[in-house]
Amino acid sequence: MIIVIDASAAIEVVLNRNQSERLADTLVMADTVIVPSLFIAEVTNVLWKYYQYSDMPIDECEKYLDASLRIPDDVLDTNDMAQETLNAAALTGMTVYDMLYMVSARRHGASLMTLDKKLASAARKQGVRVC
């Protein structure tokens, strides 16, 4: 099984939040975990927000960033996904950022791991499995 994990699910796992155990169990069963290159900027930005607005010490942010970046087995170059992603965003009304995850999953026959309910719904409507 191939999984595309988005930033919401990765942060849930590394911060050991409510759904982290379920998500981690699914990740362990995956043959491969992949992410679009956007994932790196997104998890970094989320952790910066924790530092900036929630008083998380920078060394903790760095630890969680390292853990987040160790989740995927491969980071996909998204340059060749631009047209498909734009069309998916236009069709679904979702952001291009979200559609990069969905298109990545669709292209690789992967399941999409996300906690974003709107993204999960849009992905399912496009025939992408969601876990």
pLDDT tens digits, 100-121: 999 999 999 999 999 999 999 9
Tokens of 88: 């998916």
DSSP state of 126: T
Q: Is residue 130 in some structural domain?
A: no
Q: Is residue 60 in some structural domain?
A: yes
Beta bridge partners of 113: 5
Q: Is residue 13 in some structural domain?
A: yes
> Can you point out the beta strands (E) in the chain?
2-5, 32-36, 74-76, 111-113
User: Tokens 């992603």 correspond to what residue?
Assistant: 85
Number of H helices, E strands in the chain: 7, 4
Q: Is residue 118 in some structural domain?
A: yes
Q: Is residue 70 in some structural domain?
A: yes
Q: CATH number of the domain that 13 lies in?
A: 3.40.50.1010
Range of the domain at 52: 2-125
pTM to 2 decimal places:
0.95
Q: Is residue 131 in some structural domain?
A: no
Q: Is residue 8 in some structural domain?
A: yes
CA distance linking residue 69 with residue 40, whole number of Å: 7
* pLDDT reported for residue 99: 98
State the total domains in the chain: 1
* pLDDT reported for residue 61: 97
DSSP state of 58: H
CA distance linking residue 111 with residue 54, whole number of Å: 32
